[in-house]
Amino acid sequence: MSDANPSVSLRKERPPVHDQLEFFIEQARQATPIRTAVVHPVDHNSLMGAIEAAEQGLIEPLLVGPEHKIRAAAEAEGVDLSPYEIVSTEHSHEAAERACQLVRCAEAVALMKGSLGTSELLAAVIHKTKGIRTERRLSHVWVFDIPNYHKPLVITDAAINVAPDLLTKRDIVQNAINFCHSLGIHKPKVAILAAVEKVKPAMQSTIDAAALCKMADRGQIKGAILDGPLAFDNAISLQAAIDKHIDSPVSGEADILLAPDLESANMIAKQLIYLAGAKSAGLAVGAKVPIILTSRAEGTLGRLASCAMASHMVYHPEQDS
């Protein structure tokens, strides 16, 4: 099995302005494939996504699920499963539990979602006794390569926490910061989004933004530069900030956008994909291992890039200091 060797370094240089996801994939290929429990890979997308990542040298898959269904999916695609280990279970629920057990036994260092609901997988992950939760809340990071932005942009949380309160936002931010550290972004700049730039008592998102910035000042959030509340325009555009007389170290240089809630984060993310031509990859973070969460509509690049991001996290685990 593959072990996470802390001496392995995937971070030799900063990502380019364009083809950022391809850059992270190429870096991850230089390391040993990470042993990944693929949960319930019984359809075309989930099985072929795992096989493609294995063929690219990104993961060493453990196929966890009903063996007859996995083999039927492979036969339909003409895929030889002899190089891969199958861990047979009765159904998807058991597959999720078994995958978490493999992590607890150090037989896998990452999880990959197959053909089951995200909520079903995450229920097993956060189980109090059988799961792989940590002291922080689980959250989702979405990494974007946007044609007219000069570096990778992380948006959080667009998939797990629907209406996070202040302490949940603290965990979401810290998870995203630690994730950026694993990619070699040593002091990420975090824009805490709201509709306006001033603290307004009637707008909870602005109060949370101000509190999060003060929490960072007091060491309750570590490893990043935070500013907020910031509207989307003056988070992304320095000129927009100048026009509004906002002096911020984050404006025009944001690495992370913290949205007020899941709905706004999800809308921003999908607008970037479908209107701005952004390329994306996504993970669930905050558990003991990275969880590769890809949409059913995700293409090959997004699946491979998500595996590459997980590899970066495995080989560069972040510890809060």
The span from the CA of 48 to the CA of 42, in Å, is 10
9 within some domain: no
List the one residue out of 270, 267, 291, 290 whose CA is nearest residue 280.
270
Structural domain harbouring 28? 17-133+287-320
34: in domain: yes
Residues 161 and 250 in one domain: yes
Residue 242 resides in a domain: yes
Q: What is the pLDDT of residues 9-67, one digit of tens each?
A: 555 567 777 789 999 999 999 999 999 999 999 999 899 999 999 999 999 999 999 99
Q: Which of 2-6, 124-128, 174-178, 231-235 is the least confident region? A: 2-6
Residue 162 structure tokens: 């629907």
CATH number at residue 100: 3.40.50.10950
* Same domain as 164, residue 117: no
Ordered DSSP codes for 149-191: SSS-EEEE-SSS-SS--HHHHHHHHHHHHHHHHHTT-SS-EEE
Residue 276 and residue 291 in one domain = no
The alpha carbons of the chain give a radius of gyration, in whole angstroms, of: 19
- Whether residue 163 is found in the same domain as residue 125: no
How far apart are the C-alpha atoms of 36 and 79, rounded to whole Å? 19
11 in any annotated domain:
no
Same domain, 267 and 145: yes
pLDDT of the residue at 10: 56
pLDDT tens for 260-310 read 999 999 999 999 999 999 999 999 999 999 999 977 667 789 999 999 999
Contacts of 132 (CB under 8 A, 6+ apart): 100, 103, 104, 125, 287, 288, 289
Residues 150, 232 within the same domain? yes
Within a domain: 3: no
How many domains does the chain fold into?
2
The separation between CA 308 and the C-alpha centre of its own chain, rounded to angstroms, equals 11
Which range, of 8-12, 200-204, 207-211, 224-228, averages the lowest pLDDT?
8-12
In this structure, the answer to whether residues 171 and 208 fall within a common structural domain is yes
Cα separation, 233 vs 229, in Å, equals 12
Report yes or no on 66 lying in a domain. Answer: yes
Taking the C-alpha atoms of residue 133 and residue 87, their distance in angstroms, rounded to an integer, is 22
CATH number for the domain that contains residue 261: 3.40.718.10
| DSSP β-bridge partners for residue 124 | none
Residue 260 within a domain: yes
Do 117 and 45 share a structural domain?
A: yes
